[in-house]
A and B are shown apart, each in its own frame.
Chain A
Amino acid sequence: MRTYLTLGGQVLDLTNLAVEELAYLDECLTAYHSGESFEDFSRDRTFSARNPALAPHARVNAQNVDHPLLRAVFDLEARLGIRDGVFGLAPGHDASTDPMTDTALAVTAAANEKGVTRETVYNAIERGELVATAERPVKVSANSLRGWQPAASRQRAGRLSAASRGR
């Protein structure tokens, strides 16, 4: 599982990125870690014609505006802006974590951590609230689990459903 954690705590699922998109993200990560300036990164990488998320016209449009590669590169740019002192960190944001570090948790472990049933976790994955692997055994992104708040009504429904099956 490959994910990206934004400054605002949103987890971007990079699983479906194409090879050239992953290569471009790796190039941007290398620039980020090697100390490239915010100004250079902004000018040469975020909206670059080489950014495959913007292909074929190097333009943001209705089809690619929410592309996870574009959003990840955009977030790297913001991290560099904070590091370079161009601007301060927005309230509630966290620049101390490595955006590419995540842990894959088993569904049972994820359910135990949140005090919910496995079914509740699977339902959250289906609704897109949790990032998880597509293949079995399903693993859940620990970063996405951290920011996930199960709705109380759904937890009750999940417990009742599990209890009725157990009878």
Chain B
Amino acid sequence: MALIEAHIIIPVRNNAGIAFSDEDWLELHQRLASVAGGFTRRGPHLGSWTDPDDGVEYTEPVFDFEVDIESWTSAGDFVDIAKWAASHFDQQAIAIKIAGVPETLSA
């Protein structure tokens, strides 16, 4: 079966520099596992983003979750998880990529 490779980028810490709890991560893992054939995690990498309000670029360590989506019909569920993650991990926006096409989703 052909798999659709998708990515979601999540910072390793919250905006206050505090660790996300194991419950936070476990919930993300469970949600990803529910829509995907499987996933792994790369990193930490140094990610960068630009604040749209002042144009200042920030860098922070991030994890790259590589997710195997089994069907395009599950792609919507993946996007829903990304939107949930943006809110749950208190991010203004979150970067995803599906089949090589990047997108930044607002919370």
Q: B21 in the interface, Cβ–Cβ < 8 Å?
A: yes
What is the minimal beta-carbon distance from B64 to any residue of chain A, in angstroms? 11
Contact present for A78 and B19 (CB under 8 Å): yes
Contact present for A90 and B19 (CB under 8 Å): yes
A88 to B13, CA, bound (A): 8
Q: Which residues of B contact A43 (CB under 8 A)?
A: 42-44
Interface SS of chain B:
mixed
The A/B interface has a contact count, at CB < 8 Å, of: 82
A54 to B33, CA, bound (A): 12
Interface segment among B22-30, B76-84, B90-98, B99-107: the answer is B22-30
What is the minimal beta-carbon distance from A109 to any residue of chain B, in angstroms? 29
Which residue of chain A is the closest to B32 with respect to CB atoms? Answer: A60
Contact present for B19 and A57 (CB under 8 Å): no
Q: Which residues of A contact B17 (CB under 8 A)?
A: 87-88
Contact present for A8 and B38 (CB under 8 Å): no
Contact present for B22 and A8 (CB under 8 Å): yes
Q: Which residues of B contact A46 (CB under 8 A)?
A: 41
CB<8 Å pairs between A and B, sample of 9: A8-B23, A66-B26, A71-B22, A74-B22, A86-B13, A86-B44, A90-B19, A91-B18, A93-B19
Q: Which residues of B contact A (CB under 8 A)?
A: 12-14, 16-23, 25-26, 29-30, 32-34, 36-44, 61, 63, 68
Q: Which residues of A contact B (CB under 8 A)?
A: 6-8, 10, 38-39, 42-43, 46-47, 54, 57-62, 65-66, 71, 74-75, 78, 81-82, 86-91, 93
* 20 further A-B pairs in the complex, CB-CB below 8 A; given A60-B29, A61-B37, A87-B13: A6-B22, A7-B22, A8-B21, A38-B44, A46-B41, A47-B41, A59-B37, A59-B38, A65-B29, A65-B30, A66-B30, A74-B25, A78-B19, A78-B22, A86-B61, A87-B18, A88-B19, A89-B19, A90-B21, A93-B21
